[in-house]
Amino acid sequence: MAGEIPDLLAEVRTGTGKGAARQARREHKVPGIVYGGGADPLPVNFNYHYLIKQLKAGRFLSTLFNLKVEGQEDVRVICRGIQRHVVNGLPEHVDLMRLRRTSRINLFIPVEFINHEKCVGLKRGGMLAVVRPEVELNVLAGEIPEKLVFDLDGLKIGDTITISAIDLPAGTKPTIDRDFVIANISAPRALVASDNEEGAEEEAAEE
Cα 5 from Cα 202, distance rounded (Å)? 57
Q: What digits encode the pLDDT tens for the residues 161-181?
A: 999 999 888 889 999 999 999
Neighbours of 12 (CB within 10 A): 13
Q: Looking at residues 10-26, what average pLDDT do you find?
A: 82
Distance of CA 19 to the CA centre of its chain: 35
Residue 190: what pLDDT?
Answer: 58
| Residue 13 φ/ψ, nearest 5 degrees | -95, 125
Of 29-33, 81-85, 100-104, the range with the lowest mean pLDDT is: 100-104
* 81-104 CB burial, b ≥16 within 10 A, e <16: ebeeeeeeeebbbbebbbbeeebe
**3-class SS at 109?**
strand
**Residue 205 pLDDT > 80, yes or no?**
no
Q: What digits encode the pLDDT tens for the residues 98-107?
A: 988 888 888 8
Cα 89 from Cα 16, distance rounded (Å)? 23
Distance of CA 34 to the CA centre of its chain: 21
Residue 1: what pLDDT?
Answer: 47
Neighbours of 205 (CB within 10 A): 7
What pTM does this model have? 0.65
Q: What digits encode the pLDDT tens for the residues 131-146?
A: 999 999 999 887 888 8
Q: Is 135 exposed, middle or buried (0-12, 13-18, 19+ CB in 10 A)?
A: buried
Cα 138 from Cα 174, distance rounded (Å)? 6
**Which string of DSSP letters, residue by residue, matches 52-78?**
HHHHHTS-GGG--EEEEETTS--EEEE
Measuring CA to CA, how many Å separate 110 from each of 7, 90, 102, 118, 196? 19, 29, 22, 22, 34
Residue 3: what pLDDT?
Answer: 53
**Residue 65 pLDDT > 50, yes or no?**
yes
